[in-house]
Chains A and B, each alone.
Chain A
Amino acid sequence: MSTTTEPARAGDPTAGGAGDTPPTRRQRQAAGIADAASGGIKVLLVKLLGLGIVDALAVFGIIILVGAGQWLVAAIVAAVAILVNWIYFSRRRLPAKYLTPGVIFLVVFQVFVLVYTGYIAFTNYGTGHNGSKEQAVSSLMASSLERVEDSPTYPVTVVDRGGELGLLVTDPEGDALVGTAEQPLEPVDAEFDGSKAVAADGWSTLSFADVLARTDEITELAVPYSDDPNDGAVRTPDGSSAYLYVSTLEYDEAAGTMTDLDTGTVYSDIGTGAFTSDDGEELLPGWQIVIGFDNFVRAVTDERLAGPLVYVTLWTFAFALISVASTFFLGLFLAIVFNDMRMRGRKFYRVLIILPYAIPSFLSALVWAGMMNESFGFINQVLFGGASIPWLTDPWLAKVSVLIVNLWLGFPYMFLVCMGALQSIPEELQEAATVDGARPWAVFRLIKLPLLLVSVAPLLIASFAFNFNNFNVIYMLTDGGPRDSNAPIPVGFTDILISMVYKVAFTGQTRDYGLASAYSILIFVIVAVISIIAFRRTKSLEELN
């Protein structure tokens, strides 16, 4: 079979590449001259253009990052840009020239995100804990604004700067102030129409029609009165006059407490990432903090979470193992059946049988979901003559359905694999065994199967790893359902670990990124252990050279 990709071939002297002894200085010079001579002006121009684009993008990125105060990221971008230039302008560093682009993507979007997942698993990141403490404070204050009774009326003009709305306010003393949702009111030079400021430098005044068009935005706009959030904000219900609103919450920065002025309840920061009153009531949104192993502890000790985690993990293993076994044995069986020279039309059968492999699996799963529909589906209505078998809604039958569909999706691959493996077994072995009087079954069991397993075993492990995270078939077919109504997270009886991660993080009323990442880490550990065992046993890493 795939001798083409056998790692052992790498050590083959014919594939030995540029030799094992480092080239001498003269050789390197010669290679450099040859390179320069072969490149030509066009290649040089392409290279310069490419690097120019990369550098321009890097400079642009650094400017924006510095503007946003992201010094560390800006420094990293600068360092990478310098490194890239150094690599491509250097005469040497040949391997780096070929590896750098891929490695950059690999590091950012595969390695870094896995590490970052590890970090999130130790935080309370999720709905209600999305930002920093300052953001939580201002959002709490903004959400509890109430108009101050008997407060003065401020004439106001709605202005715009680069798409950002602002309010140009004339205070009772006749001074003009301008501010936005982000920036508190500050004095500005303005043109007055009578006693009302109507235009300010650097801002464009909205016409009446514009005000009407953006009414929703304008009525939502709350411009902080000053840097102190307790001073309240200015809002306008109509775009022409504004009133002072203050929050019913009072923030005491020194003490780190929020006080509800209506009820007098004091909410204090007790280190849980939200202002909490003495009787345990939390003000949300809170903010994001590192909470150590809490997510992991919660996942295994909270009874309502631990139950689902156990059955989901067991089902994940069962699903992956049974899927691999069923597809492999069906594929092997078919390979044996069709591996007979005397049979006519083998090619015809083969093309039709591997068709499921060529169709995108998400489509197949969606179609199967339709066919397995309890009341209207093809299987119940036609094949079972109007029965109402709960293919996808019964906890156990849904598991069987998932396995059937995954068998349908997966057996063509195993069929192709086994076909290739069988045909690569030398005919002489079978002939010799037959001459020695072995019966066909013995030939298969004692000679062909062991040889076949040697070449197919790594693929079975890979297939297991793939099915362990086979999100699509689960999500498209049953959506993990039927839903487990006892669990506080949206988990169902056919969910595997990866679909549980997805649902905890991105579906339902609350998104719990911290818990989802903790589950991800769990998958990571399981996959790592399995890979270590697999690599140990198959010694495939030792063969790399």
Chain B
Amino acid sequence: MARKPVPGTQAGLVVGELDEYGRAVDDSTRAQSTLAPGPVRDLPKRPFNARRWFMATGWRHIVGVVMIAFSLFPIVFVVSSSLNPNGTLTGSNALFSKIGLDSYVRILTDPKVPFATWLGNTLMIAGITALLTVFLGAMAAYSFSRMRFTGRRVGLIGIVVVQMFPQLLAVVAIFLLMSAIGDLFPAIGLNTHIGLIMVYLGGALGVNTYLMYGFFNTIPVSIDEAAKLDGAGHARIFFTIVLRLVAPILAVVALLSFIASVNEFVVASVLLIDTEKQTLAVGLTKLVSNPRYADWSAFSAGAVIAALPVVALFLFLQKYIVGGLTAGAVK
């Protein structure tokens, strides 16, 4: 679902709610230790009453357990079948019946399935796209947030409107444009990673600037002004001061852009023709849709390997964002 940061507000919420998340943890600890007002204070004094406990929080645990089962069972299934040494789809149904790393070896070494190449392509394309997206978006957001110029409002409205029309709507035109470019400049046209990254960068401003713009506005201008008084120019203020203060939003945008590129199938499948050039989304989808490919375990191993970096980034950046860098910048 709403995984791609559609309009700015949406991913902005990720920041917001992660902040809330951090604060929520504080609240709960506070509630237990210092505040403990009203009904909460009474709780430990009474003898344990199962019915009461169930009415208050017990049923919540039941909901939690059910939801965890719903959330995790596909994940458990794929991990289990990836550990199955030589499993077809049927063979993977008995969860954790056999344990072995053979499937991982197979997916990484199968000469017909260049999985490692796909993984490398994906990490490279998504990584470069994320970095450049952050850079382009941050520059645009800085100018919208800190400068007043003709066409500024039109520009802001423009990026909000443009983000309603995702690039995949124009996939036919993108394909024809890139093949025309490829006829004259083979290095950046069809079937090249640079071409694909360029296409992805076309969405950089549309999707992320508005989100960053909102965050930039929360950084007090007095910081810029202080730096200006100290003799810093606009570039110095931007690169050495503002960018550091907005690091949390940069991390969020980088993460969202990275995930979006890893997930992107339509444009990548159209532009990348050679098997060795494809990304994981394209390669793995074509692999499983081939009815003759029966090595479900190897695919599962590939899926686990492919998901790991993204999940790791997600969990890692989640903490990083909660940390919050702006606190204490102006004292």
Known interface pairs A34-B228, A106-B204, A361-B263; A353-B1 also in contact (CB < 8 Å): no
Is the CB–CB distance between B300 and A367 below 8 Å?
yes
Is the CB–CB distance between A420 and B20 below 8 Å?
yes
Measured between beta carbons, the chain A residues less than 8 angstroms from B307 are: 359-360, 363
Contact residues on A (Cβ < 8 Å of other chain), bracket: 35 or more
Known interface pairs A120-B176, A420-B16, A458-B7; A14-B221 also in contact (CB < 8 Å): yes
Q: Does B99 interact with chain A (Cβ within 8 Å)? A: no
Is the CB–CB distance between A360 and B173 below 8 Å?
no
Known interface pairs A106-B202, A366-B303; A469-B166 also in contact (CB < 8 Å): yes
**Which residue in B60, B145, B281 is a CB contact (below 8 Å) of A362?**
B281
**Which residue in A6, A105, A345 is a CB contact (below 8 Å) of B201?**
A105
| A26-83 interface with B by 8 A CB criterion | 31, 34-39, 43, 61, 64-65, 68, 70
Is the CB–CB distance between A419 and B199 below 8 Å?
no
CB B285 to nearest CB in A, in angstroms, measures 6
CA of A527 to CA of B10, assembled, Å: 18
Is the CB–CB distance between B146 and A417 below 8 Å?
no
Measured between beta carbons, the chain B residues less than 8 angstroms from A471 are: 168, 265-266
- State how many residues of chain B have any CB contact under 8 Å with chain A: 134
**Which residue in A64, A334, A541 is a CB contact (below 8 Å) of B63?**
A334
Is the CB–CB distance between A366 and B139 below 8 Å?
no
Is the CB–CB distance between B214 and A103 below 8 Å?
no
Is the CB–CB distance between B1 and A1 below 8 Å?
no
The stretch among A132-140, A161-169, A188-196, A405-413 that forms the contact with chain B is: A405-413
Measured between beta carbons, the chain A residues less than 8 angstroms from B204 are: 102, 105-106
Is the CB–CB distance between B142 and A98 below 8 Å?
yes
Q: Which residue of A lies closest to B38 (CB)?
A: A431
Measured between beta carbons, the chain A residues less than 8 angstroms from B143 are: 94-95, 97-99
Is the CB–CB distance between A109 and B167 below 8 Å?
yes
CA of A358 to CA of B92, assembled, Å: 24
**Which residue in A412, A413, A467 is a CB contact (below 8 Å) of B71?**
A412
Q: Which residue of B lies closest to A470 (CB)?
A: B1
Measured between beta carbons, the chain B residues less than 8 angstroms from A413 are: 1-3
Q: Does B314 interact with chain A (Cβ within 8 Å)? A: yes
Known interface pairs A5-B16, A37-B231, A376-B88; A463-B6 also in contact (CB < 8 Å): yes
Is the CB–CB distance between B202 and A20 below 8 Å?
no
Measured between beta carbons, the chain B residues less than 8 angstroms from A255 are: none
Is the CB–CB distance between B314 and A423 below 8 Å?
no
Is the CB–CB distance between A39 and B235 below 8 Å?
yes
| A417-446 interface with B by 8 A CB criterion | 417, 419-421, 423-424
Measured between beta carbons, the chain B residues less than 8 angstroms from A113 are: 167, 170, 173-174, 177, 202
CB A64 to nearest CB in B, in angstroms, measures 5
Is the CB–CB distance between A64 and B185 below 8 Å?
yes
Is the CB–CB distance between B77 and A419 below 8 Å?
no
Measured between beta carbons, the chain A residues less than 8 angstroms from B289 are: 479
Measured between beta carbons, the chain B residues less than 8 angstroms from A424 are: 16, 20
Is the CB–CB distance between B15 and A2 below 8 Å?
yes
**Which residue in B1, B23, B198 is a CB contact (below 8 Å) of A323?**
B1
Measured between beta carbons, the chain A residues less than 8 angstroms from B270 are: 506
CA of A357 to CA of B75, assembled, Å: 12
CA of A265 to CA of B140, assembled, Å: 63
Measured between beta carbons, the chain A residues less than 8 angstroms from B199 are: 109
CA of A117 to CA of B270, assembled, Å: 15
Is the CB–CB distance between B172 and A513 below 8 Å?
yes
CB A387 to nearest CB in B, in angstroms, measures 13
CA of A357 to CA of B3, assembled, Å: 7
| A345-361 interface with B by 8 A CB criterion | 345-347, 349-361
Known interface pairs A38-B236, A102-B140, A472-B263; A378-B153 also in contact (CB < 8 Å): no
Known interface pairs A1-B16, A349-B64, A545-B153; A358-B314 also in contact (CB < 8 Å): yes
CA of A94 to CA of B31, assembled, Å: 50
Measured between beta carbons, the chain A residues less than 8 angstroms from B78 are: 367
CA of A415 to CA of B136, assembled, Å: 31
CB A231 to nearest CB in B, in angstroms, measures 28
Is the CB–CB distance between A359 and B311 below 8 Å?
yes
Is the CB–CB distance between A341 and B136 below 8 Å?
no
Q: Which residue of A lies closest to B1 (CB)?
A: A410
Is the CB–CB distance between A37 and B2 below 8 Å?
no
Q: Does B49 interact with chain A (Cβ within 8 Å)? A: no
Known interface pairs A17-B145, A19-B148, A406-B1; A38-B311 also in contact (CB < 8 Å): no
Q: Does B74 interact with chain A (Cβ within 8 Å)? A: yes
Q: Does B233 interact with chain A (Cβ within 8 Å)? A: yes
**Which residue in A39, A344, A356, A469 is a CB contact (below 8 Å) of B168?**
A469
The stretch among A199-207, A277-285, A516-524 that forms the contact with chain B is: A516-524
Q: Does B105 interact with chain A (Cβ within 8 Å)? A: no
CA of A381 to CA of B87, assembled, Å: 15
**Which residue in B233, B281, B303 is a CB contact (below 8 Å) of A35?**
B233
User: Can you name 5 A-B residue pairings with CB atoms under 8 Å?
Assistant: A38-B236, A109-B199, A424-B16, A465-B6, A544-B160
- Chain A interface residues (CB < 8 Å from chain B): 1-7, 9-10, 12, 14-20, 31, 34-39, 43, 61, 64-65, 68, 70, 94-95, 97-99, 101-103, 105-106, 108-114, 116-117, 120, 125, 323, 327, 334, 337-338, 340-347, 349-364, 366-371, 373, 376-378, 381-382, 406, 408-414, 416-417, 419-421, 423-424, 458-459, 462-463, 465-467, 469-472, 475-476, 479, 498, 501-502, 505-506, 513, 516-517, 520, 523-524, 527-528, 531, 540-541, 544-545
Q: 5 tightest A-B contacts by CB?
A: A410-B1, A109-B202, A420-B17, A2-B16, A5-B214
